[in-house]
Amino acid sequence: MTWHVFIKELKDSMRDRKTIMLSVMLPILFNIGLLFFMEKIIMDDSVEQVNVAVEQNTDKLVLDWLEELDEIEIVSTDNPVHLVEEGEALVAISADENFSLKLENNEIPEVIVQADPTSTKGGSTQDLIANTLALKQQEYIQQYLVESNIDPTSLEPFKINIKSMSEGDDTSLYLISIFAQLIIVLAVLMGGLPAANDLFAGEKERKTMEALLMTPVNRLHIIIGKWLAISTLSMVSGIFSVITFIIGVNVFTENLADALQLDENIGFFTISLLVGIIFFALLISSLQMLISLMANNLKEAQNYISPITTLAMVPYFILIGVSANELSTMHFLIPFLNIYALIKQLIYGIYDTTSILLVAGSSAAFICLTFFIAYAMFMKSKWVLGKS
């Protein structure tokens, strides 16, 4: 009997255009748009020139140093700071008069590099110029020591060599991990949402719930059938999201495909992700079902679920600054947090069966708890029929 209820509710939900849009079309469009944004905008390494305002009487030596930078376009002016304030340049530079002469006389000339601290581009350009000037400063120190018959290495007691732990493209992999978590989890969250609202709060509002309860079907079969219908839509949405994401990365991008490198492990990657999606869909559907039962109509259900959906994004922000190697058993035991942790781990090529089992086990425990509460509410007329 549960199967018949499940099929009926699934067919009814699929007739709704909003369900098709949220479960199928939205993940596809969202993934394509996001991949295009990452590949063409974020990963675009072409040089974009920015205007840098330089004081008119700046020494030629300083100008020569600045002209070595392809990223900047020098704009000569008598008031560099004013040009930045007017938005016509990102950085203002002024240097001491007779900069070269002071340098030759072993005096300490000054270069002032100013930028608006609220501007990301301005800050990056300021750092670029400061680093370039620092390199020139080191060259002069080296030259001075050699001319003074002092070995420059004698003033360098040790070297600092900063290297990445990963041999691949860290930036691309990081971007894939944060965006993959976002689009997959959102797809599952949104996929079954219209059905969850409609199958409980909607039926209460339309007064069709009473007719359903008058049938000889046991309430347990009814609630399981509705729950499986909502879960199926969430799973379909999540699976569509994963499929379009993997195809999109491998077909439409170069930098992201090189970083992800799924060729050898695509089987384990896909199965692990599907297990995570299935359990997360069952979990979020049971929670959405419980919230929908608490509401008396569709509008009330939407008001209740919106903040809960926002709260579900909190673990995403918690894990943004956590590397895949820092993930512990606790990350895979906490519901909601565990799906984000699993996706991040898989993106970074860590394939651990124990993590998958922890995600499945902890999610199953929370599913049982929320489903039991929802079933207890469904057995009472107060919740199942609403205020009417």
DSSP letters of 270-284?
A: HHHHHHHHHHHHHHH
pLDDT at 282: 93
Report the distance separating Cα 31 and Cα 37, nearest Å.
Answer: 10
Is pTM beyond 0.85? Reply is: no
Distant-in-sequence, close-in-space partners of 134: CB < 8 Å, separation ≥ 6: none
State the average pLDDT over residues 264-286: 86
> Among residues 247, 296, 242, 251, which one has the least CA distance to residue 270?
242
pLDDT at 47: 58
pLDDT at 346: 86
State the average pLDDT over residues 314-336: 86
Average pLDDT, the chain: 82
Beta-carbon-side half-sphere exposure of residue 316 (alpha carbons within 13 Å): 15
Does 11 score more than 70 pLDDT? yes
Residue 40 banded pLDDT, cuts 50, 70, 90: low
Q: In this structure, are residues 55 and 77 in contact, taking their beta carbons and an 8 Å threshold?
A: yes
For 13-17, 206-210, 305-309, which range has the lowest pLDDT when averaged over its residues?
13-17
Question: Which is higher by pLDDT, 346 or 257?
Answer: 346
pLDDT at 364: 93
Highest mean pLDDT among 8-17, 74-83, 204-213: 74-83
State the average pLDDT over residues 199-213: 82
Pairing of strands 111-115, 72-77: unpaired
pLDDT at 170: 67
Interior angle at CA 254, CA 249 and CA 256, nearest 5: 50
Q: In this structure, are residues 316 and 182 in contact, taking their beta carbons and an 8 Å threshold?
A: yes
Residue 152 banded pLDDT, cuts 50, 70, 90: confident
Q: What is the largest CA-CA distance in the chain?
A: 101
